[in-house]
Structure 1
Amino acid sequence: MGGLRVLQEKNIELLAEFASFCEQKGVGYWLDFGTLLGAVRHKGFVPWDDDVDVSMLWPDLEKILPEIRSHFCALGFDVRECETSIGHYQVRINKENNLVGLDVFPVKPCRGEMDKKAVSAKVHKAQNELIKQTAAANIKDIADIRGKIKEMENRFICDSSEEGGLMYFYGIDFPHEHEIVAFKHEELFPLQKMEFEGRLYSCPFNPEAHLKDLYGDYMTFPVQASDEAVIS
């Protein structure tokens, strides 16, 4: 068995533990990014991928984050809340020199008569402003970063006075490079179960629409399919 497969199998067990934990706590999660792509296209890992990506609604993640930390630290994992780069916020459960790892990305709601491109443009604008302001003020404390994130999202994206359809966006906590970082409620919910490496996990209701926004023609293998650095 090659080294990549050994690493994948360790991450399969980590994902199973995370899914079981979420189900016991009654909170939702779903496979996302390369892991969701793997579930749809391969029913498992993209052959050259090794880590695991999941997303959660921010209110759920915020509520159980202390329990995530205590549960997985007791199992020998390190739970990090903040990346080293200014303005980056995510939750990463990892060990063994960061090779075994699961990333949890926060997803947040908004309302308004906007399409996905319009919301995504607002998200990218808010991200740029967040990075600019945190860098200028040299903000590194997690609580301060959280406060600045909320300020930027409320200012640029989440106008509580707006009415309209419910949409979701990847929090500006982490600067995703994808053009489309927003999706409609009906594309995400209700979550459905899909196979990944022989087990069933929660996935978006319409994974095809979601993956198309992220990767375009996601069923076509990239030219450098043997390159482990390629995500899709």
Structure 2
Amino acid sequence: MDSETLRKVQLVQLEIAKEISRVCDENGIKYFLTGGTLLGAVRHGGFIPWDDDLDIGMFRQDYEKFLEIAPVSLREQYRIIDWKSDQSYPHPMGKVIKKGTLYKESKRKDQGEQGIWVDVFPYDNIPNLNNDFQARIFKLKILRGLVRAKCNYQTWHSEDGVIWSKYIKNLPFRVVSVFMKKENLIKKYEAISTINNNKECKFVFENGPENYSEWCFKKEIFSNLVERDFENCKFLIPEKYHEYLRAAYGDYMVLPPIEKRENQHLIVEVSFGDE
């Protein structure tokens, strides 16, 4: 994706994020910028120049409330999708998309809606980061792999073509998923994800990224939220953002080498609809 197109995509994503923020503010839902979007807010005052998505986090209770009210609270040009409401959608986090746009990933081969999006990640409790959590991660990866296979999400695609080792690794998932119902897989996945959400826990994990273990944080990081400028707009971020970013990225103020400043989602087709 060329830089001009990417910037237009970012501005649509900013528009979507402002709409999410409005709905959350009007309905008492706590949200916060997360991942590369939080890094961009702190390091760049907006998008990381080469970033091709925008990430928002919510604790599970707020996330479920948002999924419930978004269909009637979002303005008509936006839609919330998640893996329960859209049979083609393969991910455990939701997306708010702008209707009439197209933002097609090479890995998605289904006919589901693929408009320009903002990711909304649920955060779930974990008591500690010991072997029990690692076993839990293993189960989540298996279930997510089966859902992806069910939705024909082809993780073996890359900028260089097919990664045959990944293709072979995914074959058992594609075979087994034929005999399973997506809704049953999701129920099992979410039961495992939320098993500690009614307990006092010191840690949370972001539910959706590829490597769960890399996105675990002390819960106290999110105790207080503050406003931060992002593209000359105000959004909420964790007050202890330094602890978050240091855990996620290490020395986060240092720019990566030029060869690693690249888009992450392998977008093969973009359309902005009626402009």
CA offsets 1:61-109 (integer angstroms, 9 cap, x no match): 112313212333x5223422128576x3221111310363110011012
Please list every run of 5 or more consecutive structure 1 residues that lacks an aligned counterpart in the other structure. none
Instruction: Report the CA distance between 1:140 and its aligned residue.
Output: 4.7
Q: CA separation of 1:42/1:192 partners in 2, compared to 1, >3 Å: closer, same or farther?
A: same
Which among 15, 18, 22 is matched to residue 16 of structure 1?
18
Secondary structure of 2:137's aligned partner: helix
CA RMSD of aligned residues (A): 3.0
Question: Which residue of 155, 164, 168 maps to 2:204?
Answer: 168
What displacement does 1:215 show? 1.9
Determine whether 1:130 maps to 2:130.
no
* Corresponding residue for residue 35 of structure 1: 37
User: Equivalent of 2:125, from 109, 129, 132?
Assistant: 109
- Kept in 2, the 8 Å contact 1:178–1:214? The answer is no
Question: 1:1-232 to 2 correspondence within 5 Å?
Answer: 2-72=4-74, 74-82=75-83, 84=88, 88-95=91-98, 96-98=101-103, 100-111=116-127, 114=128, 116=129, 121-131=134-144, 135=173, 136-138=176-178, 139-141=180-182, 143-153=183-193, 158=196, 165-171=201-207, 174-177=208-211, 179-224=213-258, 227-229=261-263
- Partners of 2:132 and 2:225 lie apart in 1 by 22
TM-score normalised to the size of structure 1?
0.79
Aligned length: 219
Q: Matched residues, percent identical?
A: 26
Shift of 1:121: 3.1
Cα contact 2:79–2:97 (8 A) shared by 1? yes
Bigger drift between 75-84 and 88-97 goes to: 75-84
Measure the CA separation in 2 of the matches of 1:71 and 1:4. Answer: 28
Distance in 2 (alpha carbons) for counterparts of 1:206 and 1:146: 32
**Structure 2: runs of 5+ lacking an equivalent:** 104-114, 148-172, 266-275
- Structure 1 residues 165 and 147, CA, compared in 2 at 3 Å: closer, same or farther? closer
